[in-house]
Amino acid sequence: MTTDGYTIELREVSFGYGPDGPVVLKKLSGRIPEKAITALLGPNGSGKTTLLHLLLGLLAHKEGGILVSGKALGDYSPRDMKRLIGLVPQEESIPFDLSVFEYVLLGRAPHLRLLALPKEEDFRIALDALETIGIAAIRDRSLPSLSGGERQLVMIARVLTQESAILLLDEPTSHLDLANRRRVLQIMQLLRDMGKTVVFSTHDPNAAAGIADHVLMLRDGRILVAAPIREAFTTKNLSDTYGVEVEVIEMRNRPMVLPF
């Protein structure tokens, strides 16, 4: 599937749970450019996961519009949406010991008819995805036996198999140690270089600082900042977003955030 023009645009998007529930996201406006990595930053409870779910189409926004390459999300057919947008959730707990390969193969579902089984082509794509990520060696291990880092990579392999142009990742580095964090961040860069639009949420600004091209900062359900990283990463912006004093320094050509 070609990936041209998959920019996401948010226009005054609002969302609340239930008809009388509190409004969780208030008039969000901003742009998520295609073929780039966009980080969603914000403290816990600021609505990052909710926004990702809205982009996925899992939740329906109450007001405003979400457009992907100029077309409203609601106008896409469900089938096309599944081929377009993939999600790596925060965690995937399965009480059955599926093998890595079997799990990754599930990413082919949007491309298969209801009763169809994966074919040779699907196998090949899944294997390619595993190799791209560099985990082909563990393809026959069972999911519960994987470490946190391996599991994260496997989940990414799955959305890669899905061949979706837009990849949403919910807190992909939150539970990982240093080495695994770096690996995942590198993979995300690789995905971007492959032409994917990568959107990930994180509560750690340095993860964003490392690889993001574009940043959306949320606080209390509002977008405080939506800009390329250099513009966005200022002491003032970050302090406002997180509610604590921070300092931004430049390190090896990338910004870095120092909490006091």
Partner 1 sequence: MSTYRGRVQSVRGMFLWGTLIAIVCLAGSFFLGRYPEPYITPITALWDNEMARSVLLHLRLPRILAAFLLGMTLSAAGAVFQMIFRNPLVEAGLLGVSQGAAFGASLAIVALGGRTATIQICAALFAFVGLGGSAFLARRIRLGDWVLRLILAGIAVSALYTAGAGFLKYLADPLRQLPDITFWLLGGLWGITWPDIAQIVPVVVPCLAILHLMRWRLNLLAMEDETSFSLTSSAGRERFVMLLAAVAATAAVVSKAGQIGWVGLIVPHMARRVVGSDAQWTVPVSMLFGGCFVLLCDDLARTLLTGEIPLGILTSFVGAALFLILLMRREIKVRA
Instruction: List residues near partner 1 by CB under 8 A.
Output: 53, 56-58, 78-79, 81-82, 85-87, 89, 92-99, 101-102, 106-107, 109-110, 114-115, 117-120, 123-124, 127, 139-140, 142, 162
Taking the complex as a whole, the smallest distance from the CB of residue 257 to partner 1 amounts, in Å, to 29
Taking the complex as a whole, the smallest distance from the CB of residue 97 to partner 1 amounts, in Å, to 5
Decide whether 137 or 244 has the Cβ nearer to partner 1. 137
Return the exposure string of 126-163: e unless at least 16 CB atoms fall within 10 Å of the residue's CB, then b. Answer: bbebbebbebeebbebebeebeebbbbbbbbbbbbbbb
Decide whether 55 or 211 has the Cβ nearer to partner 1. 55
Decide whether 22 or 78 has the Cβ nearer to partner 1. 78
Q: How far apart are CA 238 and CA 242, in angstroms?
A: 6
Taking the complex as a whole, the smallest distance from the CB of residue 232 to partner 1 amounts, in Å, to 27
Decide whether 109 or 224 has the Cβ nearer to partner 1. 109
* β 8-16/85-88 pair status: unpaired
Decide whether 90 or 234 has the Cβ nearer to partner 1. 90
Taking the complex as a whole, the smallest distance from the CB of residue 171 to partner 1 amounts, in Å, to 12
Taking the complex as a whole, the smallest distance from the CB of residue 228 to partner 1 amounts, in Å, to 28
Where would I find the H helices in the chain? 48-56, 78-84, 100-105, 120-133, 148-161, 178-193, 205-211, 229-232, 235-242
Decide whether 35 or 158 has the Cβ nearer to partner 1. 158
* β 254-259/246-251 pair status: antiparallel
* β 222-228/214-219 pair status: antiparallel
Please name the amino acid found at residue 115.
L
Taking the complex as a whole, the smallest distance from the CB of residue 131 to partner 1 amounts, in Å, to 12
Q: How far apart are CA 168 and CA 20, in angstroms?
A: 29
For 147, what's the count of Cα atoms within 13 Å in the CB-facing half-sphere?
Answer: 8
In contact, 90 and 148? CB cutoff 8 Å = no
Q: How far apart are CA 213 and CA 234, in angstroms?
A: 15
